[in-house]
Chains A and B, each alone.
Chain A
């Protein structure tokens, strides 16, 4: 599903942000990526979204070689990938329902599908009763659940989350993880960048540790290695 081969990303300084990454993630996996600040986790996510191009190396997402995806085809690559950020990135002038429906309108989904899909997602993230609320009327945990619903509503093959619980308390973080796990059970490949070691320890999933732009450990079942 995701393959990185000798990927280097240099922003122009002496030390590259990613320095020779090799990684294979299978379809249907749930993977944590951990590592201290500046180790290159967000850079990795940006490369997978083709928001940035690698300095060298090759990346395959859903069998597509990202180096060969043209600007014209990029939107269609991104329809295979859902993204969730630490800061939610909801549209403040739209209510919960419209924020999620927006993702389907943008990819020109048929109207008759939109309503049923949005309602299904709202029920999955437990926000059916808040569908008319605006983002500023929601708690951080609720906003992140809306963001996840938006990321999943188009049924992407892959879900990328960059510190999805970074702004949330433990209870809300656990709720978010439950939702991600559920999405994974339904077949979505999930990649979660996090600093939350409690969650990583608790969930016992494959965990990749990064340091200075390199993968320093890759262990099954939550055995993580953190060199602080």
Chain B
């Protein structure tokens, strides 16, 4: 393919789109819908995953010990727990620290109340390990293991808010994949037909080109440009819409559900679009190229 022919093909390709604008628009609209849904789902999942990760990192199991356990025994229990593969990190809180934390949390405004306890630590038996997990789903296994260790009095677990959400998200994901697959098929079908119409309209021209000695790739190039252009336009439009919507929706959600501000942490749009934009454009180009290929194959011998 020579460069000077490229200009010619681009002109021809755009001429096809223009001549065929109703079908071109229908194809663009379908691809737009397809990639828009893809973008919405992708953004949702990215954010969801981000929140779950964040919540999981905060999940911890707190381990308390039987009365009168020596420091050495506590340390031994700590070693046993830290060898488990569910554990990502551990933190030991001494009884004094526990008491100090308690005081600063509850008696901050009334230090004189705490004075009444003097040096008699009411939380003398409240030394604890805070065990952080790699994944929220491992909590049950770890808790039952720790409960089995002798010298352990009590194990407190975190509420796993995300675990129910995860299966719901998976279901939404499957539904989305099916919808996207259907829209993908419809997009390819519409592009194919749009281009077939273009080929049919230009049948005489193509047969003359072939008599003159045009190569197949020369004859087909404008149809590929047509399909790929439709694909790119059909991916840029939804990306633009998503970009405009993204921060607005986040602001809206945060204002509506201000109670959940701690859980609802969103990714910045740059983070989402860094992957979404190229994937969407490649998807658009792919749909266009596939549609063109089918169309050209169908009419290989005009």
Residues of A participating in the B interface, judged by any CB pair closer than 8 Å: 49, 71-72, 75-79, 83, 89, 91, 102-103, 105-108, 110-111, 150, 154
Contacts and interface: CB of A to CB of B under 8 A. Distances in A.
Contacts of B211: 49, 78, 83
A118 to B, nearest CB: 14
B3 to A, nearest CB: 10
Contact of A105 (B8, B204, B208, B216): B8
Contacts of A91: 204-205, 208
Contact of A108 (B204, B208, B218): B218
A76 B218 CA distance: 13
5 contacts: A71-B216, A75-B210, A79-B212, A83-B211, A154-B213
A9 B280 CA distance: 53
Nearest to A156: B213
B5, B8, B208, B209 — which one has the most chain A CB atoms within 10 A of its CB? B208
B213 A76 contact: yes
Interface in B154-200: none
A154 B212 contact: yes
Contact of A78 (B4, B8, B212): B212
Given A89-B204, A89-B208, A91-B205, A105 B213 contact: no
Nearest to A93: B205
Given A49-B211, A105-B5, A108-B4, 10 more contacts: A75-B213, A75-B214, A75-B218, A78-B211, A79-B213, A83-B211, A102-B212, A106-B212, A107-B212, A108-B218
Contact of A106 (B4, B204, B209, B216): B209
Nearest to A111: B4
Contacts of A78: 210-213
A106 B8 CA distance: 10
A75 B208 contact: no
Interface residues of B, number: 16
Interface of B: 2, 4-5, 8, 204-205, 208-216, 218
A64 to B, nearest CB: 13
Nearest to B214: A106
Nearest to B8: A105
Contacts of A154: 212-213
The interface residues of chain B, by DSSP majority, are classed as helix
Contact of A103 (B4, B5, B212, B216): B212
Closest 10 CB pairs of A and B: A79-B213, A78-B213, A106-B214, A75-B213, A75-B215, A103-B212, A106-B212, A108-B2, A106-B209, A108-B5
A196 to B, nearest CB: 23
Nearest to B15: A93
A179 B211 CA distance: 21
Contacts of A106: 209, 212-214, 218
Contacts of A76: 213
A36 B218 CA distance: 39
A206 to B, nearest CB: 25
A20 to B, nearest CB: 27
Contacts of A79: 212-213
Contacts of B210: 75, 78
A110 B212 contact: no
Nearest to A51: B211
A94 to B, nearest CB: 9
A124 to B, nearest CB: 18
Contacts of A72: 215-216
A72 B214 CA distance: 11
Pick from B4, B5, B213, B215 the residue with the most CB of A within 10 Å. Answer: B213
Contact of B214 (A83, A89, A107, A150): A107
B10 to A, nearest CB: 13
Name the residue in A107, A110, A150 with the highest tally of chain B Cβ atoms < 10 Å from its Cβ: A107
Nearest to A114: B4
A141 to B, nearest CB: 20
B255 to A, nearest CB: 58
Contacts of B204: 89, 91
Contacts of A107: 212-214
